[in-house]
Amino acid sequence: MASLGGNILPLVGFNLHAFFTGITGGLLFFAGLIKLSHKRASQKSDQKRQDDDEPGLVSALLLFCYGCFFKPHSGSGKANQQGALESFYAGQASAYDVTRKLLLRGREDMLALAAAQLLHKAKSESRKAGSRRIWVDVGGGTGWNIEAMSQFVNVPEFFSTVYLVDLSPSLCAVAEKRFSRLGWDNVKIICQDARKFRLEDYENGLSGPGSPGSSTPKSYFDQKRPENGGADLITMSYSLSMIPDYYSVIDSLTSLLSPDGLLGVVDFYVQSKADFTYRNWTGGMIGRHVNYLSRTFWRAWFDLDRVALEPARRDYLEYKFGTVLTANLRNTALGSIPYYVWLGCHKKPFSSSSLPEEIIQRIDALATESPYLLPSDSHSSKKQQNVITAKLTRAIERTAPEIRSKAFDAAIQNLSANLPLPSFFYQNHHWRIYYDDQLPKHTQFNNEYIYAFTWEDSRVDREILKLGRDDVVLAITSAGDNILSYALQSPARIHAIDLNPSQNHLLELKAASFTALSHADFWKIFGEGKHENFRALLITRLSPHLSSRAFQYWLDNSFIFTNPTSRGLYDTGGSRHAIRAFRYTSRLFRCRSAVTSLLNSKTLIEQREIWHSKIRPALLSPLVSNLLVSTEAFLWKALGVPKNQLAMIEADHGSSRAVKVGLAKSTRAHAIWHYMVNTLDPVVEKTHIAVDNPYYLVCMTGGFTKKCHPDYLSHAAHKKLSQPGAFEGLRIHTDEIDEVIARMAPGTVTVAVLMDSMDWFDPDTDAAGRQIEKVNRALKTGGRVLVRSSALRPWYIKEFEKRGFVGERVGNRGVGECIDRVNMYASCWVCTKVDNLPPPTPGGSEGEQRTGGEEVDVWSL
């Protein structure tokens, strides 16, 4: 574990040393004294001392300051790393744990994440009787990590043996006392160079030249370390940055880690975006870039203590292993020191039931809707799995050799360059399909979703579609509520598509929460939109069920749920602008109490009276229409209405009537006002908002109630979707609809739900027609497309009919009509495929579609 300060006097002049120690050391000392004194006082009653020699808090801090800032370190007479470590640690070993709590942040997070992964694995595997679970803590120092792990698992029972490997005799002595006090006889303290540590020297049953019971040790030159070892978990807590020869240590870890083992690291780092921009195997980049001034300062400062923050250490770690989860954080208590938490596994898939090429082919088939995919059987033998692989490969190559997923392309590219596979390949679930998060089409959203809840009536969708067990559904993700509604109907497969990565992060979080959380916790997160323990749940319960990018996103945004002063999940995203506009308008016109009264109304008659007399005059006033709602920027950012859809609204509702009624000077203002009237009045007249309209309830209150909520929040939904395998058929694609469809086997989709996305196309181009052709290709004959539109009869219905479909209007919002509980769209259509289109000619429209052409580049609906 690292320390701050260090070997300063021999390296720099006295004046510079005095400056650094006087300013930084003093600040650290007093900040640490205040914070640790407060924490120590609050925990003193239930906290045991590590041993009788542990100094008090003030003495520990004095030892820390003397050892780090004033004591010259010239080594212990040995010109090696152990001597340098002893020179630094010998005088402060007993005070180490007390003084590092504030500095070494992230250790508990790393241990919790590792424990969560191991516990998930333990649930899904059938360990043989007498099998051993081994943990190696490299650079474990005083053993703090091992004792801290007891917060998450019972260390003496969960691990058969724990090896603490450290080069400092003084720190190892403290560890010996710790575990003697605890009575944990399964912990072994090994004071040794990590490069020379061999599990086979201590464990029976492991092959190796020095394994216990070996009668004839081989020559040193005959020894060859295995490709993988027997450790189920290896951890490095602030030790990688202190090891001079880090290449050889990282290399040695591959022969320590078991084929399915986990490696956890937490450490300081500094890095520029230029170093990692073009890597697809890092597991995400949120917060990874450190600005120039911080990079320069922290690297120079830690160099004084022989703690190396150069980027190569983390880079080489990520090169040698596959990334499972990663997070980039800052220690805000001490000057925002950058540190990272990282979990990894073997670079190549070493699963006992899978070969690298098998995993690639399987994920390829999962993403492309191959009809030849055979379900994996965890109990089948290796021989059976190889037979499945061979059949799968031959089937794909024989029938559709041109169809490959982007995941397949990325995997081939990485393996050919001896790089780790992208982190998506190391997920515990195959929900999230690989995507390149560095492309401008994804970064344009600036890590923000537009919709925190889906603006589609799932009840009406269910009645229209009547999904069966053989259906394969393709739908736009939005906030994922509609996807969960489809999952409740148990179709064979659901392909959720959204170009905005954050919308898919939200769906991933919901799927993971169903899998890992009780209904009570699930309700607090998505029903109330707030949970005070969300961050802890994310790390300890949800993390094994999330992709690295989704985990990073929610760790970075955990304040959404935990901030006591915020309004929670449903006051976030682009849609928050519309919700806040309603809130501010109601306050401006002093009708906030009327909103409360409307929500407390017992009957529709009472609700209508409050609406017409108190709320409607404010919300539908000419002032609001002209100054706010009709502005193009507000319509796009708050309501997700693009200019082409706005033009359709104007065409239907913007007429000379605007002049007659004197409501607006522009056609647009009148059109939007008229559209709002046709939307809101029928909702209030026909639906009881507080009882049966969760879509408007959440806008008014910022949350749902146990009486009124979407279907997926019910106890019955949780019971069904929390069952093992409930989301086996879910595939989450982060891409354009066209790109996903173009890489799917023809004739495999039965239902496509496009929401109002067709409204976004420009009628003066053939982009809509090209997408309809691709949809026709993907659909089975008889397959259906569900679309909603802001127009009573949208122009693109004719384009469907020209390309093998029959269109039927299943919802028509006339004056005063309410076609569903949202009532936001003027019409709803089902287009049924009746004819196959001829295959595209080489170099024709299909090839043009692959390039993007004039297609819409935003699909976050």
CATH of the domain at 192: 3.40.50.150
Residue 817 resides in a domain: yes
Return the CA Rg of the chain.
31
d(CA 561, CA 535): 8
Same domain, yes or no: 671 and 757: no
Q: What pLDDT shows up at residue 79?
A: 53
**Number of domains forming the structure of the chain:** 5
Strand 493-497: give its sheet, edge to edge. Answer: 730-733, 493-497, 472-476, 749-755, 779-789, 827-833, 805-812
Q: If DSSP codes are grouped into helix, strand and coil, which group holds residue 702?
A: coil
Same domain, yes or no: 270 and 368: no
Same domain, yes or no: 93 and 110: no
Q: If DSSP codes are grouped into helix, strand and coil, which group holds residue 18?
A: helix
Residue 723 resides in a domain: no
Quickly list H helices, 496-575: 501-516, 519-526, 534-537, 548-556, 559-562
Q: Could you say which of 43, 70, 98 is where a domain stops?
A: 98
Same domain, yes or no: 135 and 262: yes
User: Residue 268's closest CA among 310, 316, 234, 297?
Assistant: 310
Residue 168 resides in a domain: yes
Alpha-carbon dihedral sign for residues 359, 365, 366, 368 = positive
Q: Are 309 and 298 in contact (CB under 8 A)?
A: yes
- State the Cα torsion 545-550-555-560 to the nearest 10°: -110
Q: Could you say which of 78, 98, 118 is where a domain stops?
A: 98
Same domain, yes or no: 234 and 299: yes
Same domain, yes or no: 302 and 160: yes
Tokens of 861: 């609906």
Same domain, yes or no: 207 and 108: yes
Same domain, yes or no: 659 and 768: no
Same domain, yes or no: 341 and 360: no
Residue 831 resides in a domain: yes
DSSP strands (E only) in 282-370: 321-331, 337-346
Tokens of 432: 């999230």
Please report how many Cα atoms fall inside a 13 Å half-sphere around the Cα of residue 397, on the Cβ side. 7
Same domain, yes or no: 253 and 268: yes
Its domain, for residue 27, covers: 14-98
Opening angle at CA 330, ends 251 and 44, nearest 5: 100
Residue 443 resides in a domain: no
Same domain, yes or no: 797 and 819: yes
Alpha-carbon dihedral sign for residues 259, 544, 131, 257 = positive
Q: Are 647 and 789 in contact (CB under 8 A)?
A: no
Same domain, yes or no: 336 and 378: no
Q: Could you say which of 311, 346, 381 is where a domain stops?
A: 346
d(CA 262, CA 127): 16
Q: What pLDDT shows up at residue 730?
A: 94
Residue 513 resides in a domain: no
- Whole-model pTM? 0.84
Local mean pLDDT, 10-residue blocks, the chain (861 residues): 36 37 46 47 43 53 52 53 56 59 91 97 71 92 95 96 93 93 96 90 68 47 67 96 92 93 97 90 94 94 87 96 97 92 86 53 60 39 48 44 75 87 90 92 93 93 96 96 97 95 98 98 97 98 97 97 94 87 82 92 95 88 63 55 79 58 56 84 95 94 95 97 94 94 90 94 93 95 96 94 96 86 94 89 46 32 32
Residue 436 resides in a domain: no
Q: What pLDDT shows up at residue 580?
A: 85
Residue 91 resides in a domain: yes
